[in-house]
Amino acid sequence: MRYANFLSSSTLLAAISWSAIVTLTTAQSSNFDLGNLDLYQGTDGNVPSLEGDSLWMTGAEDSGFHLVLSADLQKKVQKGLDDCGDVKDECFQKLHRIISSSTTHIDNALEKRHFGHLLSKTFKKVGVMFTVISSILLWSWEEKHTPPSPVWFIPQEKASLASNVASPGTIVMSGGGAPIMTITPPPDTPSATGSITPEVTFVATASAGLKEGDRIVNMDVDFAKRFQDLLHIFSGDGACKEGQGFVADQTSGQQASPRSGGWDAAICAGLGVMPQVLDNGPLGDLRAMAPPQPPIQFDLAQAAGRAAQIVIEAARDYAPLLNIPAELADEYGVIIFAMAINALVENIDLGSSNTIRAASLVSKTQGPSATPTPTCTGARSCKAFCGEVGAIEQCVTECSTVTSVCATSTTGNRVIVTETTSTFAWPTVPVSQPTATCESSDSGLQWDIFYGKKYNVVQKFCQAVSDDQQAAHAWVVDEFGNETSSKSRKRSPPVTPKTYKDYRIGLEWKPDSSLSEDPCPRSCTEAYEAIANGPCGQNGRQGLTLAMSGSWNIGCGTYSWNVKPPSKKEPTARLEVGEVTCNDQTQFGAYKDVHEGDVQWAAIGLCARERNTELGPGEQYPADKKAANINGHWRQSELHAWVKWREGCVTTVNTQKVGNPLNTVTDGTVTGQDPCITTLFNNYKKCTGNKGAGGQTDIGCLTYFLGPGHV
């Protein structure tokens, strides 16, 4: 049952001051005095740029907490206040839902784990923090009737005292000793809002695309998309302290490589989404997930395992705040980081079924379990687990005692014996090979276009060498490895090579006379792959481009290359945001209504997800279809969008990023307005006369299009 207390301003002024700031009145009711409203007024210094419904936090022990509401969140709060009636508790409930469902951002200058520990220690539970924030917003509206301020401050003293109202029940809020309202904070009950509750299944038998020991994380499709969008938003290009520290530790004593695997971005994303795992929060569905069986553990001998440990330790610190049982904190950290690996390191879109590969986990095999003897209703239950730790096979037996009463005086004992017969094959010591030599000048051609996991320009040339290795070969190939003198069929290429459309690469093989007697230690593709991954593939400012030319005598002959970059063209487009050209609504036929909130979230999600997707001449996003179809989160508006490099366009850069076309997003911070989000949103907002048909805008050589309906 909820109670409401309504007092006029005169009653408030006449009320008797309460001597205690926080007094527990009964087991189900408590009092909390907010003090003076002016205590909570924040300053506008160093206010971050925020998109969507976002709440930003920073703070330090003994100095309090600073909060910033995004412009969109301010609007939602204001609408909630405008719609409030006279019942203070109902209004409080509405504000509590708005604040708790927003995306929480933690100051990137802070270590997320330590800040999570501070929040847990201070507020005890996240619901208490949202109760205080919602009460302050409602109180300020009652007193001033002005729009909510974007910046607020919670003094350390008040934050610490607020933890005393963490128990369920009603709370009488007061200000300066005068009662303001009686509220009932909502219960914190884990539940799934999607069509299915997230769950983890163990792959016991290998099947198509899956290996024994893999785990499958199943989740609602819309939840998966929201999860992925948040991971991209919080990845921040690895700019958080923990991400940078991890890269520094991994590369101690050597230059940090930009190809280090994206663990820094995955760490930042994992830490960023952790505070979203709360009741009514963006990722609240995870709290309804049953613990994985058997438990998942990353292999600490691998970089993935060491990176995961940072997120797992943060989960332990956030667990009290998020009301997560301590014994489940590690599992939440593991699941979150595994999804960050898929989305950010492996570039695999999250969906209804998501795989955690056994190769990155500690291999565990469950041993036999003890069963009670016929003479006993209970016994000691044991499970044996074995797993590789480095080069050592480690086995552990875990036992738990079950309290029971034996039916007779005769009891039985069962001994659990774990026997490990695993052998370890020591790796052979590789024979030293001569290294490639190259000139240090930068060709501009990225190493993984020359020879990478997805693309290479040497495949067809190497096939010709393999067909007749006794003969010399010399080709000039294009960015796809096609010999430029041949009449090869034009094909639809992958996205990235088109960035180097006019590059030409000379490839040559000269066999030695000794080839007929001795086999070559490396194949053609192995040689060029080693060149691309070695020092000759680490030129340029970021260490990502191939040297202009070089050669490698592998003992049976010499492989060489030389790159001919295209001649420079004069720019025809400036790197700036152009004017919006509105679409003709008749070109789309009939379509559903388009709502502003859906457009804004669509823009935020697309731009965050494609922050680092680069386009060059002849390329577009999405690469594999006409446009990206989008379903709005709020009102299910149907939209479609695409981004293209205009034909024949030349600007001052060779490529532009879809989500960062002017390169104004650095270290996770947006300088001014985000051009991608603002442009897509303005394609709708500035075209007011075409009934939501959207428009298109040029940024440099990229054209951003937004239209209604699906295609």
HEC string for 367-411? CCCCCCCCCECCCEEEEEEEEEECCEEEEEEEEEECCCCECCCCC
Cβ proximity of 483 and 598 under 8 Å: no
149-163, 208-222, 417-431: range with lowest mean pLDDT: 417-431
Query: Which residues form the domain of 509?
Result: 437-564
In three-state secondary structure terms, 72 is: helix
Q: Is residue 512 part of a domain?
A: yes
In three-state secondary structure terms, 505 is: strand
Q: Are residues 166 and 20 in the same domain?
A: yes
pLDDT digits (tens, 9 = 90+) for 85-100: 666 788 888 888 888 8
Written as six digits, the tokens of 350 are: 């999250």
Q: What is the pLDDT of residue 666?
A: 66
The DSSP code sequence of 413-460 is -------------PPPPPPP-PPPEE---EEEEEHHHHB-SS-BS-HH
pLDDT at 386 over 60: no
Q: Is residue 623 part of a domain?
A: yes
Through-space distance between the first and last CA atoms of the chain, rounded to whole angstroms: 51
Q: Are residues 227 and 272 in the same domain?
A: yes
Q: What is the pLDDT of residue 516?
A: 66
What value does the mean pLDDT take over residues 270-281? 82
Cβ proximity of 376 and 412 under 8 Å: yes
Spatial separation of the C-alpha atoms in residues 694 and 687, rounded to whole Å: 6
Nearest to 55 by CA among 126, 18, 105, 129: 105
Spatial separation of the C-alpha atoms in residues 528 and 448, rounded to whole Å: 11
Q: What is the H or E stretch that residue 128 is in?
A: helix 126-144
Q: Is residue 411 part of a domain?
A: no
Q: Are residues 138 and 280 in the same domain?
A: no
Spatial separation of the C-alpha atoms in residues 505 and 309, rounded to whole Å: 43
pLDDT at 283 over 60: yes
Spatial separation of the C-alpha atoms in residues 596 and 686, rounded to whole Å: 11
What value does the mean pLDDT take over residues 644-656? 89
Q: Is residue 430 part of a domain?
A: no
474 secondary structure, DSSP code: E
* Torsion of the alpha carbons at 302, 304, 305 and 306, rounded to the nearest 10: 90
Q: Which of 326, 345, 360 is the last residue of a domain?
A: 360
The sign of the dihedral angle between the CA atoms of 587, 588, 594, 597 is: negative
Q: What is the pLDDT of residue 2?
A: 32
Written as six digits, the tokens of 392 are: 């050592």
Q: Is residue 410 part of a domain?
A: no
The DSSP code sequence of 155-185 is -HHHHHHHGGG-SSSEEEEEETTEEEEEE-P
Q: Is residue 461 part of a domain?
A: yes
Q: Are residues 553 and 449 in the same domain?
A: yes
pLDDT at 637 over 80: yes
Cβ proximity of 149 and 44 under 8 Å: no
What value does the mean pLDDT take over residues 218-246? 84
Q: Is residue 285 part of a domain?
A: yes
Q: Are residues 219 and 353 in the same domain?
A: yes
In three-state secondary structure terms, 24 is: strand
Q: What is the pLDDT of residue 354?
A: 93
**Which residues partner with 660 through β-bridges?**
657
- b/e string for 642-653 if b means 16 or more Cβ within 10 A? bbbbeeebbbeb
Q: Which of 312, 341, 360 is the last residue of a domain?
A: 360
Q: Are residues 27 and 156 in the same domain?
A: yes
What value does the mean pLDDT take over residues 70-78? 89
Q: Are residues 560 and 586 in the same domain?
A: no
Q: Is the peptide bond before 190 cis (omega within 30 degrees of 0)?
A: no
63-72, 281-290, 638-647, 676-685: range with lowest mean pLDDT: 281-290
pLDDT digits (tens, 9 = 90+) for 301-324: 788 888 889 998 888 888 877 777
pLDDT at 277 over 90: no
Q: What is the pLDDT of residue 501?
A: 74
Written as six digits, the tokens of 371 are: 């069963």
Q: Are residues 556 and 658 in the same domain?
A: no
Q: What is the pLDDT of residue 543?
A: 64
Highest mean pLDDT among 99-113, 185-199, 208-222, 488-502: 208-222
Indicate the residue type of 310.
Answer: I
Q: Which of 133, 148, 183 is the last residue of a domain?
A: 183
- Distance between alpha carbon 643 and the CA centroid of its chain, in Å? 22
Q: What is the pTM of this model?
A: 0.48
In three-state secondary structure terms, 559 is: strand
Place of tokens 């041993």: 367
**Between the CA of residue 638 and those of 196, 213, 553, what are the distances in Å?**
23, 40, 59
**Which residues partner with 29 through β-bridges?**
26, 170
Q: What is the H or E stretch that residue 246 is in?
A: helix 241-250
Q: Are residues 600 and 532 in the same domain?
A: no
Backbone φ and ψ of 636, nearest 5°: 60, 35
Indicate the residue type of 659.
Answer: G
pLDDT digits (tens, 9 = 90+) for 427-472: 444 444 456 788 767 777 777 788 877 788 888 888 888 888 888 8
311 burial via Cβ count (<10 Å: 0-12, 13-18, 19+)? buried
Indicate the residue type of 414.
Answer: R
Q: Are residues 464 and 495 in the same domain?
A: yes
pLDDT digits (tens, 9 = 90+) for 326-361: 777 888 889 999 999 988 888 888 999 999 988 888
Written as six digits, the tokens of 330 are: 């590690």
Q: What is the pLDDT of residue 376?
A: 43
Q: Centre a 10 Å sphere on the Cβ of residue 178 and count the other Cβ atoms it contains.
A: 17
The DSSP code sequence of 300-349 is TTSHHHHHHHHHHHHHHHHHHHHT--GGGHHHHHHHHHHHHIIIIIS---
In three-state secondary structure terms, 546 is: strand
Q: Are residues 21 and 108 in the same domain?
A: yes
Q: Which residue has the higher pLDDT, 236 or 555?
A: 555
Backbone φ and ψ of 587, nearest 5°: -75, -10
Q: Is the peptide bond before 294 cis (omega within 30 degrees of 0)?
A: yes
Indicate the residue type of 47.
Answer: V
pLDDT at 148 over 50: yes
Q: Is residue 402 part of a domain?
A: no
Kind of pairing between the strands at 215-218 and 353-356? antiparallel
Could you give the angle at the alpha carbon of 661 between the alpha carbons of 656 and 662, nearest 5°? 110
pLDDT at 286 over 60: yes
Indicate the residue type of 23.
Answer: T
pLDDT digits (tens, 9 = 90+) for 499-543: 677 788 889 999 887 776 666 778 888 888 888 877 788 776 556
44 burial via Cβ count (<10 Å: 0-12, 13-18, 19+)? exposed
Assign 645 a pLDDT band (cuts: 50, 70, 90). Answer: very high
Q: Are residues 53 and 158 in the same domain?
A: yes
Q: What is the pLDDT of residue 702?
A: 95
Spatial separation of the C-alpha atoms in residues 165 and 550, rounded to whole Å: 71
pLDDT at 102 over 50: yes
- The domain tally of the chain equals 4
**Between the CA of residue 239 and those of 108, 258, 666, what are the distances in Å?**
8, 13, 9
Spatial separation of the C-alpha atoms in residues 4 and 90, rounded to whole Å: 9
What does the mean pLDDT of the chain come to?
76
